[in-house]
Amino acid sequence: MHGADDAEFITLARVTKTQGRKGEVAAALFTNFPERFASRKQLFGLDSKGQRHELDLEEHWLHKGQIVLKFAGVDSISQAELLIGWEIQVRRSQRVPLEGDQVYISDLIGCEVYDGGRVIGKVQDVLFGSGEAPLLVVRDEVAHGAKEYLVPFAASYIEEMALEQKQVKMKLPAGLLDLDSPLKKDASLKSRAGTEKKQL
Protein backbone atom coordinates (compact mmCIF):
# COMPACT_ATOMS: atom_id res chain seq x y z
CA MET A 1 0.00 0.00 0.00
CA HIS A 2 1.43 3.36 -0.98
CA GLY A 3 2.00 6.08 1.57
CA ALA A 4 0.00 9.27 1.97
CA ASP A 5 2.68 11.27 0.16
CA ASP A 6 2.57 9.00 -2.90
CA ALA A 7 1.13 11.78 -5.08
CA GLU A 8 4.37 13.73 -4.60
CA PHE A 9 6.35 11.13 -6.56
CA ILE A 10 6.53 10.00 -10.19
CA THR A 11 7.56 6.49 -11.24
CA LEU A 12 10.26 6.46 -13.92
CA ALA A 13 10.88 2.71 -14.10
CA ARG A 14 10.14 -0.65 -12.44
CA VAL A 15 12.89 -3.16 -11.69
CA THR A 16 12.24 -6.42 -13.56
CA LYS A 17 15.37 -8.53 -13.01
CA THR A 18 19.03 -8.58 -12.09
CA GLN A 19 21.51 -7.71 -14.82
CA GLY A 20 25.15 -8.69 -14.51
CA ARG A 21 27.12 -9.81 -11.47
CA LYS A 22 27.92 -6.55 -9.71
CA GLY A 23 24.48 -5.55 -8.44
CA GLU A 24 23.06 -4.07 -11.62
CA VAL A 25 19.31 -4.34 -12.26
CA ALA A 26 17.27 -4.04 -15.45
CA ALA A 27 14.13 -1.92 -15.30
CA ALA A 28 11.15 -1.27 -17.58
CA LEU A 29 11.01 2.41 -18.52
CA PHE A 30 7.92 4.51 -17.79
CA THR A 31 9.39 7.74 -19.12
CA ASN A 32 9.98 9.29 -22.51
CA PHE A 33 13.07 11.00 -21.09
CA PRO A 34 15.62 8.26 -20.23
CA GLU A 35 18.43 10.74 -20.87
CA ARG A 36 17.40 12.53 -17.69
CA PHE A 37 18.93 9.71 -15.62
CA ALA A 38 22.28 11.36 -16.40
CA SER A 39 21.35 14.24 -14.09
CA ARG A 40 19.12 12.30 -11.67
CA LYS A 41 21.56 10.74 -9.27
CA GLN A 42 19.31 10.95 -6.21
CA LEU A 43 16.36 8.62 -6.75
CA PHE A 44 13.80 6.81 -4.61
CA GLY A 45 12.81 3.16 -4.60
CA LEU A 46 9.27 2.13 -3.61
CA ASP A 47 9.21 -1.47 -2.39
CA SER A 48 6.31 -3.95 -2.37
CA LYS A 49 5.34 -2.89 1.17
CA GLY A 50 4.94 0.75 0.17
CA GLN A 51 8.15 1.83 1.88
CA ARG A 52 10.23 4.42 0.05
CA HIS A 53 14.06 4.25 0.13
CA GLU A 54 16.65 6.78 -1.03
CA LEU A 55 18.91 5.49 -3.79
CA ASP A 56 22.19 6.86 -5.17
CA LEU A 57 22.57 6.09 -8.87
CA GLU A 58 26.17 5.29 -9.86
CA GLU A 59 25.73 4.17 -13.47
CA HIS A 60 23.01 3.60 -16.06
CA TRP A 61 22.69 2.55 -19.69
CA LEU A 62 20.00 1.44 -22.10
CA HIS A 63 19.84 -2.26 -23.04
CA LYS A 64 17.26 -4.07 -25.20
CA GLY A 65 14.47 -1.58 -24.57
CA GLN A 66 15.08 -1.37 -20.83
CA ILE A 67 17.42 0.64 -18.65
CA VAL A 68 20.17 -0.92 -16.56
CA LEU A 69 20.76 0.78 -13.21
CA LYS A 70 23.64 0.42 -10.73
CA PHE A 71 22.98 1.82 -7.26
CA ALA A 72 25.52 2.55 -4.54
CA GLY A 73 25.63 -0.21 -1.93
CA VAL A 74 24.05 -2.81 -4.23
CA ASP A 75 27.10 -4.82 -5.27
CA SER A 76 25.99 -8.43 -5.73
CA ILE A 77 23.32 -10.47 -7.48
CA SER A 78 21.72 -11.38 -4.13
CA GLN A 79 21.45 -7.70 -3.16
CA ALA A 80 20.07 -6.81 -6.58
CA GLU A 81 17.40 -9.53 -6.30
CA LEU A 82 15.91 -7.64 -3.34
CA LEU A 83 15.12 -4.71 -5.68
CA ILE A 84 13.03 -6.72 -8.17
CA GLY A 85 9.56 -5.17 -8.35
CA TRP A 86 10.66 -1.85 -6.89
CA GLU A 87 9.42 1.34 -8.54
CA ILE A 88 12.19 3.85 -9.26
CA GLN A 89 10.86 7.34 -8.59
CA VAL A 90 11.63 11.04 -8.42
CA ARG A 91 9.73 13.85 -6.77
CA ARG A 92 6.91 15.27 -8.85
CA SER A 93 8.58 18.69 -8.72
CA GLN A 94 11.46 17.23 -10.79
CA ARG A 95 9.29 16.33 -13.77
CA VAL A 96 10.34 17.55 -17.19
CA PRO A 97 8.11 20.45 -18.33
CA LEU A 98 5.95 19.43 -21.29
CA GLU A 99 5.15 21.47 -24.35
CA GLY A 100 1.92 22.23 -26.18
CA ASP A 101 -0.96 19.82 -25.55
CA GLN A 102 1.15 17.04 -24.01
CA VAL A 103 0.05 15.73 -20.62
CA TYR A 104 1.34 13.29 -18.04
CA ILE A 105 -0.50 10.02 -17.42
CA SER A 106 -0.24 10.70 -13.70
CA ASP A 107 -2.25 13.90 -14.20
CA LEU A 108 -4.98 11.99 -16.08
CA ILE A 109 -5.44 9.27 -13.46
CA GLY A 110 -8.45 10.05 -11.28
CA CYS A 111 -9.94 12.62 -13.66
CA GLU A 112 -13.69 12.52 -14.22
CA VAL A 113 -14.47 12.04 -17.90
CA TYR A 114 -17.50 13.78 -19.36
CA ASP A 115 -19.29 12.98 -22.61
CA GLY A 116 -21.12 16.22 -23.24
CA GLY A 117 -22.72 17.00 -19.87
CA ARG A 118 -22.78 13.38 -18.63
CA VAL A 119 -20.12 11.92 -16.36
CA ILE A 120 -18.89 8.58 -17.73
CA GLY A 121 -16.57 7.73 -14.84
CA LYS A 122 -12.99 8.22 -13.65
CA VAL A 123 -9.75 7.43 -15.45
CA GLN A 124 -8.12 4.36 -13.92
CA ASP A 125 -5.27 3.81 -16.37
CA VAL A 126 -4.05 4.39 -19.92
CA LEU A 127 -3.45 1.63 -22.47
CA PHE A 128 -1.06 1.78 -25.40
CA GLY A 129 -1.67 -0.47 -28.38
CA SER A 130 -1.45 -0.43 -32.13
CA GLY A 131 -4.00 2.37 -32.57
CA GLU A 132 -3.10 5.98 -33.20
CA ALA A 133 -4.55 7.18 -29.90
CA PRO A 134 -3.99 5.77 -26.39
CA LEU A 135 -7.08 4.42 -24.65
CA LEU A 136 -8.36 5.80 -21.36
CA VAL A 137 -9.60 3.09 -19.00
CA VAL A 138 -12.66 4.81 -17.55
CA ARG A 139 -14.51 3.15 -14.69
CA ASP A 140 -18.14 3.96 -13.86
CA GLU A 141 -18.62 3.03 -10.20
CA VAL A 142 -22.27 4.13 -10.23
CA ALA A 143 -23.38 1.56 -12.80
CA HIS A 144 -24.74 -1.74 -11.52
CA GLY A 145 -21.71 -3.95 -10.94
CA ALA A 146 -19.43 -1.14 -12.14
CA LYS A 147 -18.49 -0.77 -15.80
CA GLU A 148 -15.21 -0.04 -17.52
CA TYR A 149 -14.94 1.68 -20.88
CA LEU A 150 -12.03 2.11 -23.27
CA VAL A 151 -12.20 5.67 -24.53
CA PRO A 152 -9.81 6.86 -27.28
CA PHE A 153 -7.74 9.77 -26.00
CA ALA A 154 -7.90 11.52 -29.36
CA ALA A 155 -7.58 15.28 -29.79
CA SER A 156 -10.68 15.34 -32.01
CA TYR A 157 -12.81 14.05 -29.10
CA ILE A 158 -11.44 16.39 -26.42
CA GLU A 159 -13.35 19.58 -25.73
CA GLU A 160 -11.55 20.72 -22.59
CA MET A 161 -8.99 19.41 -20.10
CA ALA A 162 -9.05 20.93 -16.62
CA LEU A 163 -6.45 18.74 -14.97
CA GLU A 164 -6.19 20.81 -11.79
CA GLN A 165 -9.91 20.24 -11.32
CA LYS A 166 -9.44 16.57 -12.38
CA GLN A 167 -11.86 16.88 -15.32
CA VAL A 168 -11.64 15.84 -18.97
CA LYS A 169 -14.55 16.97 -21.12
CA MET A 170 -15.07 15.07 -24.36
CA LYS A 171 -17.55 14.79 -27.20
CA LEU A 172 -17.64 11.13 -28.18
CA PRO A 173 -19.21 9.65 -31.33
CA ALA A 174 -22.74 8.36 -30.83
CA GLY A 175 -22.75 4.72 -29.80
CA LEU A 176 -19.07 4.47 -28.90
CA LEU A 177 -19.75 3.61 -25.26
CA ASP A 178 -22.62 1.25 -26.13
CA LEU A 179 -20.45 -0.78 -28.50
CA ASP A 180 -17.43 -0.92 -26.23
CA SER A 181 -16.82 -4.33 -24.69
CA PRO A 182 -15.73 -4.70 -21.06
CA LEU A 183 -12.03 -4.32 -20.45
CA LYS A 184 -10.26 -7.68 -20.41
CA LYS A 185 -7.66 -8.32 -17.76
CA ASP A 186 -5.20 -9.66 -20.30
CA ALA A 187 -5.23 -6.40 -22.30
CA SER A 188 -1.78 -5.13 -23.16
CA LEU A 189 -0.85 -2.69 -20.43
CA LYS A 190 2.08 -0.35 -20.80
CA SER A 191 1.40 2.26 -18.14
CA ARG A 192 0.35 2.89 -14.59
CA ALA A 193 -0.61 5.71 -12.27
CA GLY A 194 2.31 8.01 -11.60
CA THR A 195 4.33 7.35 -14.73
CA GLU A 196 6.16 10.06 -16.60
CA LYS A 197 5.08 9.22 -20.16
CA LYS A 198 3.53 12.05 -22.12
CA GLN A 199 0.55 11.92 -24.41
CA LEU A 200 -0.96 13.69 -27.44
Does domain 6-94 correspond to CATH entry 2.40.30.60? yes
| Spatial separation of the C-alpha atoms in residues 73 and 107, rounded to whole Å | 34
Which range is least confidently modeled, 28-32, 61-65, 90-94, 144-148? 144-148
Position 19 scores a pLDDT of 96
Which sequence spans correspond to the domains of the chain?
6-94, 103-199
Fold of domain 103-199:
SH3 type barrels. (2.30.30)
Q: Which of 40-44, 99-103, 134-138, 193-197 has the lowest mean pLDDT?
A: 193-197
Residue 185 has pLDDT above 70, yes or no: no
Q: Across residues 32-58, what is the average pLDDT? A: 91
pLDDT, tens only, 87-137 = 999 988 887 777 767 787 778 888 999 998 899 999 988 887 666 788 899
Mean pLDDT of the chain: 82
Instruction: Give dist(CA 21, CA 72) in Å, integer.
Output: 14
Kindly calculate the radius of gyration of the chain based on its CA atoms and give it in whole angstroms: 19
Are the C-beta atoms of residues 28 and 190 closer than 8 Å to each other?
no
Whether the CB-CB separation of 34 and 67 falls below 8 Å is answered with: yes
Whether residue 197 contacts residue 30, with contact meaning beta carbons closer than 8 Å, is answered with yes
In this prediction, residues 190-196 reach a mean pLDDT of: 44
Average pLDDT of 27-42?
Answer: 85
What is the pLDDT averaged over residues 153-179? 89
Report the alpha-carbon distance of residue 193 to residue 10 in Å, rounded: 9
